[in-house]
Amino acid sequence: MLTEEQNKLLTEVEGEALMGRYMRERFWIPCARADSLVADGAPKLVRLLGKNYVAFRATDGRVGMFDEACPHRGVSLTLARNEDCALRCIFHSWKFDVSGRAVEVPSEGERSASFAQKVKLNHYPTFEGGGLLWVWLGDGAPPPRPPLPFLDLAPEQVWISRTLSACNWLQGVEGTLDSVHVGTLHQSWIAKVRDSKRNETIGHTLNVPPRYEVAETPYGLRAAALRRLNEDQQYVRVTEYVMPFISLVPGSMSDREGSMFISVPMDNQNHMLFWGFWKEDALHEPLNERGLRTDERDLDHYASFKGDRENAWGQDRAAMADGHFTGFLDCLLQEDVVVQASMGRIVDRTREQLCASDVAVVRARRRLLNELAMFERDEQGIAPRDPELAVVRPIDMVSGAGTGWRELLAH
């Protein structure tokens, strides 16, 4: 349980809120699916931490990211023409290259060139990795890239979607750290996966309640869900939390594949959920043959739901009567998005009644509060990388019942 003040510290990101400043000044932030930016295509509105930006891919493939408002009269640059490696505002034809430099100001006539040198448009560094566009919103030199295993993989080895989620970012993060819900909320989907043999171990989440252990790392937390299968074996499932908004969830019996959940705050009451898969080893089948790209689903609005609280977010009660546990049939992720939205835009954590299975959620909150206190004192705080690891990876395995999960990670 948190106090009201602590809840505000953790959830509020707009303006000069401490959490928003912490994210801006310490971390690269994923802001769009890279594939959604097309050379000379429509500029994209990007909302982060309560402020609007515009991102676009230029004719030569480079990406520019600016404040949304044209510095002249504030017209949205999402309306701009994207051509000749620049954005041209449709109001007065002011033109800005990918560095944010004004290159044409036709309204000034003969003074255009000299006047253009005085125009300031905030430009933000970006890089592309793991199918995402990442942006640095802070001042000074950007930090190292996050220690993620999929940033440099080939496009066919990563699949990524975006969902607009109607609640605060922390509700998204906490959902990824709550391992016990996998075998309850997702039980109908897990049973289907188990029966199809697409995942050799996750079916254990349906049968055995877990015991939880959590360890702090230089970059966040490791959350282990441990299930005793028999006298000799245990099922070990370890999620890596890369602060502040990234969780890596294991795949099946391999530490070189898994799912990423990235809950990026748009403002205090909404977040973008980037969800997808990666596979580092040679592919026996392309990711797009796993039933993920074969439909007509919009990958920028992947797990949208129908309705709101009035109609129970489109829940199918007939399907529930036929045996589906939740009545949300569209995709597994929809179950997460709906239950998080049902809590309200910002859940009141002063009223919670927590239990032993919430240990990872509690530890993550405590770690975030500690990091905010250190940031406010201008202390270094979290290390962007584990100094001993180039990347971090989650694990999913069946091991000897007496083997410690920390020992498994060490190997």
Q: Is 316 exposed, middle or buried (0-12, 13-18, 19+ CB in 10 A)?
A: middle
DSSP 362: H
The HSE-up count of residue 271 (CA atoms within 13 Å, CB side) is 30
More confident residue, 306 or 157: 157
Query: Is 68:45 a contact under the CB 8 Å cutoff?
Result: yes
Per-residue confidence band for 293, with pLDDT thresholds at 50, 70 and 90:
very low
**DSSP states along 136-183:** --SSSSPPPPP--TTTTS-GGGEEEEEEEESS-HHHHHHHHH-GGGGG
Segment of 106-120, 178-192, 260-274, 323-337 carrying the highest mean pLDDT: 260-274
Q: What is the pTM of this model?
A: 0.93
| Cβ neighbours of 207 (radius 10 Å) | 11
**Looking at 50-54, 100-104, 172-176, 296-300, which range is the least confident one?**
296-300
Please say if the pLDDT value at position 387 is more than 70: no
| Domain spans of the chain, in order of start | 28-135, 155-410
Please say if the pLDDT value at position 23 is more than 90: yes
Name the packing angle between helices 359-376 and 4-11 (round to 10°).
80
Q: How many residues does the chain have?
A: 411
- Using only the alpha carbons of the chain, give its radius of gyration: 23
CATH homologous superfamily of 28-135: Rieske [2Fe-2S] iron-sulphur domain (2.102.10.10)
Tell me the per-residue pLDDT of 150-195, one tens digit each, with 9 for 90 and over: 999 999 999 999 999 999 999 999 999 987 888 889 989 888 877 6
Task: Out of 3.30.70.3270, 3.30.420.40, 3.40.50.2300, 3.90.380.10, select the CATH number for domain 155-410.
Answer: 3.90.380.10
Here the contacts of 189-192 (C-beta below 8 Å, separation 24 or greater) are: 189/332, 189/335
Averaged pLDDT score across all residues of the chain: 90
Tokens 């999960």 locate to 405
Please say if the pLDDT value at position 294 is more than 50: no
Note the pLDDT of residue 323: 96
Note the pLDDT of residue 304: 79
Note the pLDDT of residue 274: 98
